[in-house]
Amino acid sequence: MSGKTARGAILLLVIGNLLAILSDIIVKAQGSDVPVLQFLFMRVLCTLAILLPFWPLLDHRGLGRGTAVHVARAHIGLVGVLCMVVALVHLPLATANALFYAAPLVILLLAVVLFRERVSVLGVTAVVLGFAGILLILRPLDFGWYSLSGLGAAAALALSALLVRKLPRSQNTMDVLFLTHVYALPAALLLMLWEGAPWDWRLLAAAMGSALMILGYSTTVILAYRDVAANRVTSAEYTGLIWAVLLGWLLFAEVPDAWFFAGATLIVVPLVLLGLSERQRRAPAGAPPPISHEPREESG
């Protein structure tokens, strides 16, 4: 494994996280009056349209496997994207993204409850410091429904990631992406009809742009981790928060305060250390481990 390969993987992750933040910016730019459920339906539809040319690459005989888990993940994903959109249009870009980084913390907690996993001292420390960081960012006096939506998005991402363990191992990433959005489409349509907002064609371009950015992010993650041990590059995932701070300042004149930076540090640093520790412990020397969690891969 050459240093050049690792540098290339880091560059891919930096670019990928920029794409994810650009998707957030597209969502945020729609404003707080956006018909959220209509936008949600459009994004699911656009994602399926992008994936449709890859239909010949799917394992057609295996698409019927794991239906119950796919359906559950699809609807959990819809709730997650709904919460994500609400948080993005009402909170500063950096604040919303800091809340989304609570997902790995929730994964640790749910893994203990649902799978009886044992958590290391470093894992417990990461959870405690992470939630302390969230409190610093939000501060109890500022806590409201929009902040709760950001945490709801993190919880949905975490639960969706844990359910990956229940999926058939014979299904690849493309199969999972396609099935997730197919099963999400009917519910997204019903929610849009229930919302009853007039159809707005202008949202279609935004939904397509957001879907393209998220799928681009997923592609960079897959390429980055394919040939490089994750413990060498995983910290590059957290450049997304840097992009959120920078672009939030440039595009929306959002200037994070000292509370934000203190809280973000408490969230990110323990997670980086935990990720490095776990991947070094589990990965065979010189061999890249499988991708364990792609936070936004199936977020609609």
pLDDT in tens, 200-215: 998 999 999 999 998 8
- Cβ neighbours of residue 4 closer than 8 Å, sequence gap 6 or more: none
How much is the mean pLDDT over the chain? Answer: 81
Residue 142's pLDDT is what? 60
* Whole-number pLDDT of residue 88: 92
Q: Residue 101 — pLDDT band, cuts 50, 70, 90?
A: confident
The whole-model pTM stands at 0.81
Which CA distances in Å does 35 have to 80, 182, 185, 196, 263? 16, 22, 17, 9, 31
Residues 6+ away with beta carbon under 8 Å from 126? 104, 105, 108, 270, 271, 273, 274
Q: Are 108 and 130 in contact (CB under 8 A)?
A: no
CA-based Rg of the chain, rounded to a whole angstrom?
Answer: 19
- On the question of pLDDT at 285 being above 50, the answer is no
Q: Check residue 18 and give its pLDDT.
A: 92
Q: How confident is the model at residue 290 (pLDDT cuts 50, 70, 90)?
A: very low
Dist CA 249 CA 254 (whole Å): 5
Choose from 52-61, 105-114, 170-179, 194-203 the range with maximum mean pLDDT: 194-203
Phi-psi region of 99 (alpha: psi -120 to 50; beta: other; left: phi over 0): alpha
63: tokens are: 């698409």
How far, rounded to the nearest angstrom, does the alpha carbon of residue 80 sit from its chain's CA centroid?
Answer: 9
pLDDT band at 276 (very low <50, low <70, confident <90, very high): low
Query: In Å, what is the CA distance from 286 to each residue of 1, 225, 228?
Result: 7, 13, 9
Q: Please report the sign of the dihedral spanned by the C-alpha atoms of residue 253, residue 258, residue 263, residue 266.
A: positive
Domain locations along the chain: 3-282
When pLDDT is cut at 50, 70 and 90, the band that residue 78 belongs to is: very high
pLDDT of residue 166: 84
Is residue 86 very low, low, confident or very high in pLDDT (cuts 50, 70, 90)?
Answer: very high
When mean pLDDT is compared over 24-28, 142-146, 167-171, the highest value belongs to 24-28
3-class SS at 176? helix
Question: What is the predicted pLDDT for the residue at 83?
Answer: 93
Q: Between helices 202-226 and 36-51, what is the axis angle to 10°? A: 50
**What confidence tens digit (pLDDT) does each residue in 52-67 have?**
998 988 888 888 888 9
pLDDT tens-digit series, residues 212-271: 998 888 888 767 766 555 555 556 777 888 899 999 999 999 988 888 888 888 888 877
Nearest in space to 292 (alpha carbons), one of 241, 238, 242, 234? 234
